[in-house]
């Protein structure tokens, strides 16, 4: 699979670069904060307009390198700390906010030529804000599920995929296309993670009930309950009808590569016009 082979290649380059940084005395937390600052700069470049969008892509590429290297650096140098994980999550969320608020600010400040006046594009502002909500929910569902002793991961629209979407949109001048994609498509991953968390929580709860029953039976000297519930495990590949839903397949599979390829082609070749159907819809409802 293309994504699997690419992952192995970049993992090799990442580990070599992390080894060099380790010898220079670079600390993982410093890279984490630097990545956040670069991402914030990319968000500011998105807000400043088309002339700055290529710089946003460059800054995002540099921030992505920091994001890849901080974990590898911590692992190779045995520098993992509990606070490092907390800092990484906080910086990721701050970076997400910058990447979505940047386009939202741009579409607020950009005059609406189609409307004949300097009006904000309500549709694109709404989609940028919705994309930020999906980004936060995708991470939050997993965190809450893991707190409950279950799993809530999986789905296509994880943070690297979202960042690459914005990067490609900025690089090719198709930020409008990226905003439409991120404002609508990641809702599928939110739904998938909720579904997966529900199944995983039910399995964890059933396993806990069986364990409690066995402990009670052992204490009373009675025969314990036979069998065991399935504990929450790793994500499995979709089966049956779910197999045709490309957004539910994990990285390293052909459906994932097909999905990723379709998104990349859209970002390269499709420049969605800055239409504002939400404003038109609201205008119909107003007296």
Reading the block at residue 143, the tokens are 């965190």
Distance CA 249, CA 238 (A): 7
- Cβ neighbours around 216 below 10 Å, total: 12
Alpha-carbon distance 124 to 174, whole Å?
13
CB-CB neighbours of 75 under 10 Å: 13
Gap between the Cα atoms of 167 and 181, Å rounded: 13
**112 counts as catalytic:** no
Backbone angles phi, psi at 112, to 5 degrees: -90, 95
Contacts of 109 (CB under 8 A, 6+ apart): 47, 120
Catalytic residue from among 92, 96, 257, 276 = 92
Report the distance separating Cα 9 and Cα 68, nearest Å: 13
* Count of C-beta atoms within a 10 Å radius of residue 140: 14
Return d(Cα 155, Cα 190) in angstroms, integer.
8
Query: What are 199's two structure tokens?
Result: 């199944």
Residue 232 near residue 200 (C-beta atoms within 8 A): yes
Burial of 233 (0-12, 13-18, 19+ CB in 10 A): exposed
Active site residues: 92
């Amino acid at each position: 699979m293309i994504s699997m082979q690419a992952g192995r290649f970049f993992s090799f380059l990442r580990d070599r670069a992390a080894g060099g940084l380790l010898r220079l005395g670079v600390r993982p937390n410093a890279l984490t904060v630097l990545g956040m600052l670069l991402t914030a700069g990319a968000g500011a470049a998105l807000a400043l307009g088309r002339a700055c969008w290529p710089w946003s892509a460059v800054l995002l590429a540099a921030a992505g390198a920091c994001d890849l290297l901080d974990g590898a650096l911590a692992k190779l140098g045995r520098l993992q700390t509990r606070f490092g994980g907390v800092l990484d999550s906080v910086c990721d969320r701050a970076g997400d906010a910058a990447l979505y608020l940047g386009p939202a600010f741009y579409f607020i400040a950009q005059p609406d030529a189609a409307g004949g006046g300097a009006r904000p594009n309500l549709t694109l502002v709404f989609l940028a804000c919705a994309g930020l909500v999906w980004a936060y929910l995708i991470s939050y569902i997993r965190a809450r599920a893991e707190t409950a002793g279950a799993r809530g991961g999986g789905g296509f629209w994880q943070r690297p995929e979202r960042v690459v979407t914005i990067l490609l949109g900025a690089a090719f001048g198709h930020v409008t296309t990226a905003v439409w994609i991120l404002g609508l498509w990641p809702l599928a991953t939110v739904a998938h993670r909720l579904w997966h968390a529900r199944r995983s929580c039910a399995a964890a709860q059933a396993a806990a009930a069986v364990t409690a029953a066995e402990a009670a039976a052992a204490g009373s000297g009675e025969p314990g309950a036979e069998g065991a519930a399935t504990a929450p495990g790793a994500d499995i590949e979709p089966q049956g009808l779910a197999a045709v839903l490309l957004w539910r397949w994990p990285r390293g599979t052909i459906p994932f590569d097909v999905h990723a390829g379709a998104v990349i082609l859209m970002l390269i070749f499709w420049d969605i016009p800055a239409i504002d159907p939400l404003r038109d819809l609201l205008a119909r409802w107003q007296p």
